Structure formats: C-alpha cells, structure tokens
Amino acid sequence: MTFGEQVDQATAHRILDRSLERGVDFIDTAEMYAVPARAETCGATETIIGNWFAGTPGLRQKVVLATKVAGPSRGMPWIRGDQSGLTKAEIVQACEGSLRRLQTDVIDLYQIHWPARNVPAFGAVYFDPTKDKDCASIHVQLEAMSELVKAGKVRAIGLSNETPYGVHEFVRLAEQHGLPRVATVQNPYCLINRAYENGLDETCHRTEVSLLAYSPLGFGLLTGKYDDTGLVGDHGRMALFESMRKQRWGRPESLATAKRYNTLAREHGLTPSQLALAFCYRNWRVASTIIGVTSVAQLDECLDAWDVQLSPELLGAIDKIRWEARDPAQ
C-alpha cells in the first residue's frame, strides 16, 4: 500500500525484486491503494505491480497475487460513489479494473476489503444496528465471486476486516448453495491488536479459513521509531499523514502500549520489530504475515526476523502486558 505514495515505482520494483530473491511468493494489494487514500493515487499500487510483471516475461507465474475490491465508500467517493452497496455488477467491474492495472489474466486471491453490511470495524468497537442500510447480501456477493471464478478471472476468494458472524455466513451460504468457499480472512493481528483472538480465531479454525495477518508492526508503532519522538516528524507514515494519526493506531493508548512491548523486546536482546514479527510468524493462528515496507533495508529487516524464536517466558510476558492493556488499537 506504500507503492505510489511513499514509494516511487523504481524503488517499488527494487523491493519486489529483492522479495523474490529472499523467497517471498505472495503479494497483496487492493484497488484503493496507495494509502493514505486519495483520488489521485487510487489504483497506483496495482499499476506499479502490473508494470513490474510486464517488465519481465514469466514473472507473474512466480507469485501468488492477491488484491481486494473496496466495500461501500468510507470517504472515498472516487471509487464507486457514496451509494455503493457492493452489488454483483460492482464486484465484477472492480475485478476487471484490477486485472487491467495488474496486467494479468487472473487474480489468485480476490478479497472483499471490508464488509458491505454495517459492522464495527477500523477502530469501532460496538455494533450499532441503527446504522444498518441497504447493501448486497452475502449470497449476492458470493454469486458475483462465483461468476469471476467460472470465468477464470479469479482462482480463490477471501475476506478482510471481517467478523466471526461474517466469516461463518460466507462459509455457510457457500456450502448451502454450491458457491466458492472463502479461503482466507485478512484482518489486523499484532501485539497491540489481538482482537482476532476474541472469537474469530475459533471460527476460522473450525471453518478452515486461514488468517492473513496485516499490520504486524502496528503501522510502525512496534518498530520503536516513535518511542522517543511520538507521532511527529518525517520518519514514518504515522508522522507524515494526519489522517493516519486519527485512526486506531494513532490513539495515545496504542503508542503507550507499543512502548511497553518495545521495551520488553530490548530487555530480551531483541529489536522491537523482531519481537512483533516473530509473534506473528510463529503463531499457530497465522497462515501468512503481510508486511509493508518503504525500502529494501526495511524488507530485509522484516524477513530476517523469520529466524527469531520466542521463549515461553517471553510469550508469557507478552500475555501479561496484553492482559493489562488489552487491545488498544482494536
């Protein structure tokens, strides 16, 4: 999501090349990226990735490619207007646009970026039924995905920013009506947001839906780079973009709790990033961890953390902080 905003195309292609060299074979993006979302950069990330594929024959076949269709507008009327309800036609049209920008004939994993229905997400904690409004049903969304799968444009489907109810309903209706079954859910999962463990982990385990953990570094808070300066300056997107600071990651409680984990890491001879990433990399709940970087050096640091093992003592200390601080970036 940094490609096209913080990262220009040449740098992005160097990061992608290095990813392949290091054994990375899964790339995730979305039609609304780059972030923070702006009309001028909508689709830029997909375009940059598509140009990377086009530059080298056979490159596309070396990776599992995932992207997402945006849900109803969240202050982004430039995507499909303010009245989008994620209809069948909108899903199909969005997929066609992603295929063009990505310069590919097929998307390996096509995900619904956030639910069409009213749900507590992106920092909201409580479900409010009075906010319900008309939108395409889960059944209709599955029918749209089925059409794309049958046409050979999509291989598998997934969800993102979903709830236990949503995952279960998508699975139930798919099985009931012979429609494509969701393979994955992409939700936040990191030391300052373990809300996935509040029921969704059981749902996914029992329905055999895999977690793609996003924001394992808590939008940079779990790297330690904000510990001394706070969310100011020019050293990360939380500092660079005011819109980012207004999100759950910008809460004072999120930064304060991240500092506790970062201190714990250093006390055990680890960098904050190593602790945060190893927590996700080695967790039984996680099928794959999605990292976002702005340089090759950041990429190497994230991938090097793969070899870090967390002791039972350290995992216990992590759980102690979580018990006291809960999930401030939920």
**Residues 35-47 pLDDT 10s:** 999 999 999 999 9
> Over pLDDT 90: what percentage of the chain?
87
For position 44, what pLDDT does the model report?
98
Whose CA is closest to 32, among 114, 145, 139, 103? 114
Q: What span, in angstroms and rounded, lies between the C-alpha atoms of 200 and 203?
A: 5
Work out the end-to-end distance of the chain between its first and last CA atoms, rounded to an integer number of angstroms. Answer: 20
CB atoms within 10 A of CB 104: 20
For position 12, what pLDDT does the model report?
98
Q: Do 274 and 309 meet the contact criterion of CB atoms below 8 Å apart?
A: no
Q: What span, in angstroms and rounded, lies between the C-alpha atoms of 327 and 261?
A: 13
Which residues are part of the catalytic machinery? Answer: 33
Mean pLDDT for the stretch of residues 164-192: 98
pLDDT in tens, 258-279: 999 999 999 999 999 999 999 9
Which phi-psi region, left, alpha or beta, contains residue 173 (left: φ > 0; alpha: ψ -120 to 50)?
Answer: alpha
Distance (Å) of CA 1 to CA 116, 206, 214, 222, 324: 21, 31, 11, 18, 32
pLDDT at 319 over 90: yes
Q: Strand order of the sheet with strand 154-160?
A: 26-28, 64-69, 107-112, 154-160, 182-188, 210-214, 286-289
* pLDDT bucket at 248, cuts 50 / 70 / 90: confident
pLDDT in tens, 130-151: 999 999 999 999 999 999 999 9
pLDDT at 310 over 70: yes
Superfamily name with CATH number, domain 1-188: NADP-dependent oxidoreductase domain (3.20.20.100)
Q: Where are the domains of the chain?
A: 1-188, 218-282+295-330
What six digits make up the tokens of 286?
Answer: 């996680």
Q: Do 76 and 42 meet the contact criterion of CB atoms below 8 Å apart?
A: yes
pLDDT in tens, 49-89: 999 999 999 999 999 999 999 998 778 899 988 777 899 99
For position 85, what pLDDT does the model report?
87
Q: What span, in angstroms and rounded, lies between the C-alpha atoms of 327 and 135?
A: 30
Global pTM value: 0.95
Q: How many CA atoms lie within 13 A of 329 on its CB side?
A: 28
Summary mean pLDDT of the chain: 94
pLDDT in tens, 83-130: 778 999 999 999 999 999 999 999 999 999 999 999 998 988 899 999
Q: What span, in angstroms and rounded, lies between the C-alpha atoms of 8 and 3?
A: 6
CA 88 to chain centre: 23
